[in-house]
Structure 1
Amino acid sequence: MPYTISSLVSFEEDIKKSRFQAFAVPVENEEAVREFLDQYRDISTTHQCWAWKIGHNVRFNDDGEPSGTAGRPILATIEGNELTNVLVLVNRWYGGIKLGTGGLVRAYGGCAGQCLLLAEKIELIEKKKVWFQCLFSEWSIFQYELNSQQIEFSEEYTADGVSVTALVQLHQIETLAVKIQDISRGRAQLKIVEEENV
């Protein structure tokens, strides 16, 4: 069962006069990763190293530290905690004492790990984007159905009726598809939008 974290958490520690500061944040996509890294860019740091995992996609960055001593250990802590849709950023302010490659691995991995221990783990529920159209006269029924199942949706009014896009949990798809067919008397169909799983 994949897990993510519920909200932003941070952790700070000093290791041999270097200050390390970690942030862990839930992310849905690469755009959210870029936005967070831009927002938390700090020119006072010596290094800003990070790793993220979204689904099966992973990326990490050593930001000038010796290869494999920062980004990879951060990623290892994300995967070790069985998390996905998570970005961990670790800032370092160099304090004058070299840590060596083993020391760097322990510092970055350890700081990221301590930060993730503070986070609340939540189950990641897979959702799919779906789309359907209905008549104006049917829209209030569908609106009630979507709201009662706590389904996120957006509607667009067209000349022919209402075009609806929604994010639906996997177990809700079949019930909703049947409901749409019933209400529209077979005229409307639920279509899965092949983008990405959310």
Structure 2
Amino acid sequence: MPFTLAAQFEYEEDIKKSRFQAIAVPVENEQTVKDFLEAHKDISTTHQCWAWKIGDTVRFNDDGEPSGTAGRPILATIEGNDLTNVLVLVNRWYGGIKLGTGGLVRAYGGCAGQCLLQAEKIELIEKKKVQFSCQFSEWAIFQYELNQQQIEFQEDYTAQGVNVLASLQIHQIQPLQLKIQDVTRGREQLHIVEVAEDE
């Protein structure tokens, strides 16, 4: 079962006079990654190296450090902790002593690893977007049901009735499907919405 982070977490250490700061944060999609990196641009740093993983998609960046010495070790710590939907940014302020490639790998990987070790992790629950329609007279029943199960939803009122878009955990889909068939006497169906990856 994959995990993600409960919240943003930071960790700092000094290695041979260079200061390393790791910031680990949960991310939903590539846009949240871009926004976070943009917001954390720091011109006082010597290097800002990062790696992220969302589902099966991974990216990493050495930001001028020798190839394979920063981004890849950071990514290895994300994967080693069984995490997904996570971005780790490691800032380095150079202190005048060269670390060599092995030293850099240990510094970036180690700093990211310590940060993730101490961060609070939560189980990532897969959700699917679903859509269904109902008549105005039926909406109160569904609204009660959705609220009872703490399901996020948006309703859209039309001349014919109510269109509902909801985000369900996998185990909630079938019971709601049966409820819809029951309340609407088989007139309406629950549809799973295929969401494009880059939304």
Question: What band does the TM-score fall into relative to the shorter chain?
Answer: over 0.9
Query: Distance in 2 between the 1:56 and 1:196 partners?
Result: 14
Look up the match of 1:124.
124
Matches within 5 A, 1:19-168: 19-168=19-168
Q: Does 1:14 align with 2:8?
A: no
So what's the TM-score if we normalise by structure 2?
0.96
Amino acid at match of 2:92: R
Seq. identity, %: 77
Amino acid at match of 2:168: V
Q: Is the 8 A contact 1:130 1:191 kept in 2?
A: yes
Q: Is the 8 A contact 1:128 1:196 kept in 2?
A: no
Query: Distance in 2 between the 1:139 and 1:43 partners?
Result: 54
Q: Secondary structure at the match of 1:145?
A: helix
Query: Distance in 1 between the 2:196 and 2:27 partners?
Result: 14
Query: Distance in 2 between the 1:27 and 1:193 partners?
Result: 22
Q: Is the 8 A contact 1:26 1:85 kept in 2?
A: yes
Aligned length: 198
Query: What is the root-mean-square deviation in Å for CA atoms of aligned residues?
Result: 1.3
Q: Secondary structure at the match of 2:68?
A: coil
After TM superposition, give the deviation of residue 196 of structure 1 in Å: 5.5
Query: Distance in 1 between the 2:159 and 2:14 partners?
Result: 63
So what's the TM-score if we normalise by structure 1?
0.97
Give runs of ≥4 in structure 1 deviating > 2 Å: none
Query: Distance in 1 between the 2:163 and 2:39 partners?
Result: 35
Q: Secondary structure at the match of 2:119?
A: coil
Query: Distance in 1 between the 2:119 and 2:196 partners?
Result: 26
Cα gap change, 1:9 to 1:38, in 2 (>3 Å): same
